[in-house]
Chain A
Amino acid sequence: MQSFSEIDTTSKRASKAAGFAWGIAEEVGKNMRNLEMFGLPGVKNLNLYFQKIKENPTEKPKKIEKENKPQEKEFCPIHCGTIFLDNCKVLESLKTIKFKNVSYPLLFLPFISRASEIVGKKISVQYGENNFLLNFDKTIFFKNIKNNEVVSLAKEVSIEFLENSNSFSIQEWKELYKLSEKTFVEETESSKKVGAGAGLTDND
C-alpha cells in the first residue's frame, strides 16, 4: 500500500509534469492525500484526467459567478477548484453556484472541502447521481459513489453553502437539557456567599 505521503509527493510531481505551476501542483498533492484518506478514488481520477488533457486541453474559468459555463472546452477541475478555494469567502454570499461541463469533477471536490473549513460552513455538492456533504474538511459524506466508476464529465456541478443550523428541534434540545440538569447540585446559602462577585454591589 502507498503511504499518503507518497500519494502527495507523486501527485504533486505529476501535476507539474502535466503542465500546472508548482504552487498549484502543491494544492493537488494535498488534495489527493485528502481524497484517498476520505476513501475516494483521487489517484485514479487524477491519472485519467492527466491522460485526457494531453489530447484534449481543458479551460480555466475567467472568474466564478453564480452560473459558470466554459466558452469552448470542458472546465478544468483543478483550476475551478483553485479559484473557488482562493475566493471562497466572497463566493459564500452567492449561496449556490453552478458549473457546467466540468471534467473529472471528483478532482474539484477537495478544493471545496477545504473551502468548507475556511468559511466554517458545510457545503453540499451534487453532480449526476453523486451527492457529497463536505464537513469542514474533516469528513466527506457521499452516496452513489463507486470506487471503480469514474465520472469523466459532469454536465452540471451544483454547489451549495449550507447555513449552520441545528439538526434537532428546540423541544428535543429542552428534553436533553432537562436530563443533563440531573448532574447539578442545589447550592447552599454559604456557597452563594463566596461565589464570584458575591457581597458586592455591581453599581460601583
Chain B
Amino acid sequence: MNKPNIKLRDPSIVMKLSRLGSFHQSKLSFLRSFIREFKKWNYKRNLFDLDKNGYGTAVYSFEKNGRNYSLICFAQHIEPYERSDRVIATKWDAAFVLHDGLPTEEDIDRLRDNVPKQEIGRVSCKELTLSRANKSIRAFEHVVDSLSQGNQPNKDLLSKVGYLYRTTAVYGSGKFGLADRFRIKDRKEIYGPFRLEMMLVYLVRQFTFDQVNHIAKSKNPDKAITLDEDIARNLGIGNSTGLGMAPFLVNHPTLLHNWIYCREKALKDIRSIKDVKIDDFNLFKECFNKSKLSIDTWITDSQYQINKIKALKSDLSKFTQYLENECSIKINYLWNKIYVWNADNLGEECIEYIVSMMMEPYDKIIDPLINEMSSEEEKYFNIPTDRKVSDLKVILENNYKSIIKIDFKEKSNTANFWFISKNKEEPRVANRYEEHGSELEQPLAIARDTKLLYERLVKAKPTDTVAEFLFSNEDVRHVVRRAFIVEKFPYSEIQDNTIGTSLVPIDMLRLKLSFFGAVKFDPRSDKWLRINMYQGAPLPHEMKFSSDTWVYNSLH
C-alpha cells in the first residue's frame, strides 16, 4: 500500500464548537502529565493539625533536589445554609493554597488570615495557585460514619458521587496577588500548562482522605478503621465549572492553538505509522475495552449529555464490531484506516474518543509534545502594522471562511452578549435583546467583529498599510491582532459564532476540561457542569511505580 497523504486536520473542522465539545481526556491531558512528571518527586505530609471535627490546618509537599512545593489546607466549620458551590459563595468547607517552598509558621499564619476569605483576601508572589472546596455531604458523612463504625463505605453510593469534595475554580497566574507565571515559567517541571493547578487538586484529594480517616478515628477511637486504599483510589475530586473558563479560551489564542496543535500533530504522526506493533495495538484495545465500561457509569440528568452518551454508546458498539472484524496489524497504516473509517461512519463524540485512545501506546510521540503545550503569548502581541490591507483580507478569507459568511444582521446571530458580573467579576452570558448591559459587552464576539473587519477591508485601499487602516478603524484593532495570530497559529480561533442562539457554552468548558483530563462531564445546565478529576489516580505513596494508564483502571 502506498503511503497515504496524511495531513493535519483542517481547523475549519476541528475548531467547530460541536467538535471541541466532544473532546475527551487523553495522554496529553494535564493531570496525567502532572503525575508522569511528579512521580519522581518525594511526597510528604508535613503538618496535620486538625481538631476532632476535622477543622484546622494541614500541609503537604513535593520535594526534589531541594525544591519544594507545598499545599496548605485550611478546613473550617460552615453552616449547611452557607454551603454553595458557586464561585460567588463567600464561605467554603476548605480553602487551599500552593506555596512555593516550605512555608514558615509566619507564612501559614498570614495565609490563614487571607486564603479562606477568597476575593477579599490577598496572597503574595510566594503563592502559586489557590482554590476552595465543599464537601459532598452525602458521600463525606457516609464515609465518616461507616469508617467510625468499623465498616468500609458503600461502594455503590461512592461510585455515584465519585469524590468527597468538590472544588470551584482553581486560580493561578496572578489572581488575588498570586505569582505571575513569568516568575516560574522556566522551571522544567512545570513546562506543561496548568501543572501547578493540577498539583493543587491532586494534593487536595489526599487531604480529603486523611480528613475522613481523622474524623472517623476521633469519633470512635476504638472501632474506627481507615478508608480502604482501593476505594480511595477510585475517588477523585469533583469540580463545578461555570462560564469563567470560556473567555479564557478566547483570551489565550496561542495557548489554545498549542493545545489543539499538539493533539492534531499526535494524531497525524500516529496515522502515519506504517507497521503497527502487536503490543501497541493490544494496549490500544485494552484501554479501549476498559474505558468503554466507564460509559455505563457516566451518570447525568442533562438531556443534552444523555443524548450524546446514547449516540456514543451506539457508535462504540459499531466501532467494536469494526475493530474485531476488519482491523489487524497486518494492514499497513492501520491507524489511518481506523481514523478514516471512524470519520466516515461515526459521530464527533466517538471520533474524538477513539482519537484519544489511539495516543495511548505512543509515549515517544506524546511526551515531546507535552512541553510544547505552553505559550509565550507576549511574543505575538504586537500587530505587524507594516503589512498591507490586502494581506490582512487574504488572512481573513483563508482562516475565517465560515465566519465571514455569517449574516450578523440576523438577530439570532447576535442573540447573546458576554459580560463581567459586577458582584464577583465573573464572566456571564445573557440575551442581548431581553437583558440589560450589552453596552458593556466583553470583546468575545470574535466572529461578529471579524466579519465587521472584513467588511471594512473590502472597502479599504488594498495597498494601504495596516497602520493606515487602523488609524481610522481602531474599534476593530482587537480582531486585527487576532487575525495576524491566526495566520501563524491556525488552531487559535474557535470557528463558530459565540453569540448566536445556537451557542452551547458548555462546549467551550468541555474543551478545556478535557485537556485538564476531567472525566464524566455532567452538565447541570447549558452554562455549567460537574466533572471528576483524578478518579483512579495512584495515591501519593504509589506514584513512583504507577502506570500512565491508571485512568482506565477505575473509571467504572
Interface residues of A (CB under 8 A from B): 1-6, 13, 21-24, 26, 30, 63, 82-83, 85-87, 89-90, 114, 118
- Complex contact B174–A23 (CB within 8 A): no
Does B299 lie at the interface of the complex (its beta carbon under 8 Å from any beta carbon of A)? no
Does B119 lie at the interface of the complex (its beta carbon under 8 Å from any beta carbon of A)? no
- Look across to chain A and name the residue whose beta carbon is closest to the beta carbon of B469: A86
- Complex contact A6–B177 (CB within 8 A): yes
Which of B125, B378, B467, B478 is A23 in contact with, Cβ under 8 Å? B478
Q: Which residues of B contact A90 (CB under 8 A)?
A: 386, 467
- Complex contact A26–B481 (CB within 8 A): yes
- Complex contact B474–A6 (CB within 8 A): no
Q: Which residues of B contact A82 (CB under 8 A)?
A: 474
How distant is the Cα of A169 from the Cα of B474 in the complex, in angstroms?
47
Does B476 lie at the interface of the complex (its beta carbon under 8 Å from any beta carbon of A)? yes
Q: Which residues of A contact B470 (CB under 8 A)?
A: 86
Q: Which residues of B contact A2 (CB under 8 A)?
A: 177
Q: Which residues of B contact A5 (CB under 8 A)?
A: 173-175, 180-181
- Look across to chain A and name the residue whose beta carbon is closest to the beta carbon of B181: A5
- Complex contact A86–B478 (CB within 8 A): no
How distant is the Cα of A87 from the Cα of B178 in the complex, in angstroms?
36
- Look across to chain A and name the residue whose beta carbon is closest to the beta carbon of B172: A5
Within 8 A of A (CB), among B491-533: none
- Complex contact B177–A22 (CB within 8 A): no
- Complex contact B474–A1 (CB within 8 A): no
How distant is the Cα of A138 from the Cα of B477 in the complex, in angstroms?
25
In this complex, the member of B177, B378, B474, B478 whose beta carbon has the largest number of chain A beta carbons within 10 angstroms is B474
- Complex contact A89–B386 (CB within 8 A): yes
Given contacts A3-B174, A5-B173, A118-B382, are A24 and B125 in contact (CB under 8 A)?
no
Which of under 10, 10 to 19, 20 to 34, or 35 or more describes the interface residues of B? 20 to 34
- Complex contact B481–A87 (CB within 8 A): no
- Look across to chain B and name the residue whose beta carbon is closest to the beta carbon of A13: B420
How distant is the Cα of A6 from the Cα of B124 in the complex, in angstroms?
13
- Look across to chain B and name the residue whose beta carbon is closest to the beta carbon of A63: B471
Q: Which residues of A contact B229 (CB under 8 A)?
A: none
Q: How far is the CB of A15 from chain B (nearest CB, A)?
A: 12
- Complex contact B382–A83 (CB within 8 A): no
Q: Which residues of B contact A83 (CB under 8 A)?
A: 467, 471
Q: How far is the CB of A30 from chain B (nearest CB, A)?
A: 6
* Interchain residue pairs with CB less than 8 A apart (12): A3-B125, A3-B175, A3-B179, A21-B475, A22-B477, A22-B478, A23-B478, A24-B474, A26-B381, A26-B478, A83-B471, A86-B466
Q: Which residues of A contact B121 (CB under 8 A)?
A: none
- Complex contact A87–B467 (CB within 8 A): yes
- Complex contact A23–B180 (CB within 8 A): no
Does B102 lie at the interface of the complex (its beta carbon under 8 Å from any beta carbon of A)? no
- Complex contact A3–B177 (CB within 8 A): yes
Q: Which residues of A contact B173 (CB under 8 A)?
A: 3, 5
Q: How far is the CB of A177 from chain B (nearest CB, A)?
A: 33
Q: Which residues of B contact A13 (CB under 8 A)?
A: 420
Q: How far is the CB of A23 from chain B (nearest CB, A)?
A: 2
- Look across to chain A and name the residue whose beta carbon is closest to the beta carbon of B441: A22
- Look across to chain B and name the residue whose beta carbon is closest to the beta carbon of A114: B382
Does B309 lie at the interface of the complex (its beta carbon under 8 Å from any beta carbon of A)? no
Q: How far is the CB of B104 from chain A (nearest CB, A)?
A: 18
Given contacts A3-B125, A21-B475, A22-B478, are A86 and B174 in contact (CB under 8 A)?
no
Q: How far is the CB of B448 from chain A (nearest CB, A)?
A: 13
How distant is the Cα of A21 from the Cα of B385 in the complex, in angstroms?
17
- Complex contact B174–A4 (CB within 8 A): yes
How distant is the Cα of A84 from the Cα of B113 in the complex, in angstroms?
47
Q: Which residues of B contact A118 (CB under 8 A)?
A: 382
How distant is the Cα of A87 from the Cα of B386 in the complex, in angstroms?
7
How distant is the Cα of A83 from the Cα of B473 in the complex, in angstroms?
12
- Complex contact A87–B385 (CB within 8 A): yes
- Complex contact A30–B381 (CB within 8 A): yes
How distant is the Cα of A63 from the Cα of B385 in the complex, in angstroms?
15
- Look across to chain B and name the residue whose beta carbon is closest to the beta carbon of A87: B467
How distant is the Cα of A1 from the Cα of B127 in the complex, in angstroms?
12
12 other A-B residue contacts (CB within 8 Å) besides A1-B124, A23-B474, A83-B467: A3-B125, A3-B174, A3-B178, A13-B420, A23-B480, A30-B378, A85-B382, A86-B383, A86-B466, A86-B467, A87-B385, A90-B386
